[in-house]
C-alpha cells in the first residue's frame, strides 16, 4: 500500500491486499480510531474519492486505484493508544505460514474492539506487526472463550476460508467444563435459536421451543461427547455443525448443564462458589480447527493445548 500526502490529504494506492474490498471496509481497516459513523459521513459528503470520483460505500476497489482520504480522518487514525503496549498477543501464536496465523486466544480478550472495548486481538496484532499490510479475522469467538482464532494475512486466503465457512466445511471442536454429571457418551442437539436485546447486558440468545411462532430464529446443531466426569463437573468435547451466536453456551444451559463460569447463561450461585475456590473464567475452549489450506488445498488441522486452568478440576474435591 503506497501512501502519498499533499497538504494533509493522503492518497493511497490499492495493492493486492485490498483488491476487491469495499471502500467502506477498507477505510474502517486503515482508520482504526475513527468512528464508523464518521467514515460513512465522509463517504456521503464526497471527501473520500477513488480515482478523483465520488463513490458509494459499497464501491469495490481494484488494484492500483487511488483513494483520497481527508486530513481530519487521518489525524484521528494516528491517535496513539498507550494501553496497546501492555499486551503481547504474538506470544499466543501457535501456527503461522505465508497466508495464515492461528492464535491460542486467552480468555477475557475480545477478538476486536467495539462498544465499550478499546481494542481486541486484531487491533493488538496490527499494532505489534505494523509491516503486515493485511491482517483480518477469519472468524470470531466469544470474549470469555479461549482457544484457536484464525487470522488471514492475504485477502485471497480470507475469501477462500469464508467460502469454506459458508459451505460448512470447517471443522470446529470445543472443550467445555459443565456443572453436573453428564451420562450419555454422545448427544446430538438441534434447536431453533433467536437473538434478543437484553438491555444493558447486550444481546442474548434464547431457545424457541415452538415452531408456531412469528419470532425469527435459526437452526443450531451441536454434537456433545463425554470426556470425563470429576465429582460434580463434566468435561465435554463439542463438535459444531452450525455456528450461531453463543450456541454451545445456550445448548448446555437449555440441557441443564451450564458451563462453569458462564455469567450470562450459567448457574450464578455455583459460579460464585467456584470463584471463591479460584476458578475465575468461563470454561469453554476452542481446541481444534480443521480446514482446507488456501494455498495447498490440503487438509489442515490445528490443535490448541488444554488450558492450564482446567487442571483446577482434577485437583478439586
Active site (catalytic) residues? 142
Handedness of CA 15, 20, 25, 29 (dihedral sign): negative
Inter-residue contact 14 to 30 (CB < 8 Å): no
Name 299's bridge partners. 292
What are the grid coordinates assigned to 103, written together?
A: 492464535
Q: Quickly count: other Cβ atoms within 10 Å of residue 309's Cβ.
A: 17
Rg (CA), the chain: 22
Q: φ, ψ for residue 60 (rounded to 5)? A: -95, 125
Residue 53: partners with Cβ closer than 8 Å, 6 or more residues away: none
**CA-based end-to-end distance of the chain:** 57
Inter-residue contact 293 to 154 (CB < 8 Å): no
What are the grid coordinates assigned to 306, written together?
A: 488444554
Buried b (16+ CB within 10 A) or exposed e, 79-104: eeeeeeeebebeebeebeeebbbbbb
Name 228's bridge partners. 235
Q: 477505510: which residue's cell?
A: 27
DSSP state letter for 310: G
Amino acid at each position: 500500500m503506497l501512501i502519498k500526502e499533499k497538504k494533509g490529504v493522503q492518497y493511497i494506492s490499492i495493492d493486492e491486499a485490498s483488491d476487491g474490498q469495499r471502500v467502506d471496509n477498507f477505510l474502517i481497516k486503515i482508520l482504526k480510531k475513527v468512528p464508523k459513523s464518521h467514515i460513512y459521513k465522509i463517504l456521503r459528503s464526497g471527501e473520500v474519492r477513488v480515482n478523483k470520483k465520488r463513490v458509494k460505500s459499497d464501491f469495490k476497489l481494484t488494484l492500483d486505484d487511488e483513494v483520497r482520504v481527508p486530513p481530519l480522518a487521518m489525524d484521528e487514525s494516528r491517535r496513539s493508544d498507550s494501553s496497546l503496549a501492555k499486551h503481547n498477543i504474538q506470544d499466543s501464536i501457535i501456527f503461522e505460514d505465508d497466508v495464515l496465523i492461528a492464535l491460542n486466544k486467552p480468555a477475557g480478550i475480545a477478538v476486536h474492539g467495539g462498544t465499550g472495548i478499546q481494542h481486541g486481538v486484531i487491533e493488538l496484532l496490527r499494532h505489534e506487526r505494523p509491516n503486515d499490510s493485511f491482517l483480518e479475522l477469519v472468524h470470531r469467538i466469544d470474549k470469555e472463550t479461549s482457544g484457536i482464532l484464525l487470522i488471514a494475512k492475504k485477502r485471497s486466503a480470507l475469501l477462500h476460508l469464508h467460502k469454506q465457512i459458508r459451505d460448512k466445511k470447517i471443522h470446529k471442536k470445543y472443550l467445555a467444563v459443565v456443572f453436573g454429571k453428564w451420562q450419555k457418551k454422545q448427544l446430538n442437539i438441534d434447536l431453533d435459536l433467536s437473538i434478543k436485546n437484553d438491555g444493558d447486558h447486550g444481546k442474548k440468545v434464547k431457545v424457541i421451543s415452538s415452531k408456531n411462532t412469528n419470532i425469527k430464529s435459526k437452526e443450531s446443531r451441536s454434537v456433545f461427547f463425554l470426556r470425563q466426569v470429576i465429582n460434580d463437573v463434566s468435561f465435554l468435547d463439542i463438535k459444531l455443525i452450525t455456528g450461531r451466536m453463543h450456541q454451545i453456551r445456550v445448548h448446555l444451559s437449555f440441557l441443564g448443564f451450564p458451563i462453569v463460569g458462564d455469567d450470562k447463561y450459567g448457574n450464578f450461585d455455583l459460579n460464585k462458589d467456584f470463584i471463591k475456590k479460584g476458578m475465575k473464567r468461563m470454561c469453554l475452549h476452542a481446541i481444534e480447527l480443521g480446514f482446507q489450506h488456501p494455498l495447498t488445498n490440503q487438509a489442515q488441522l490445528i490443535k490448541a493445548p488444554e488450558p492450564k486452568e482446567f487442571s483446577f478440576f482434577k485437583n478439586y474435591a
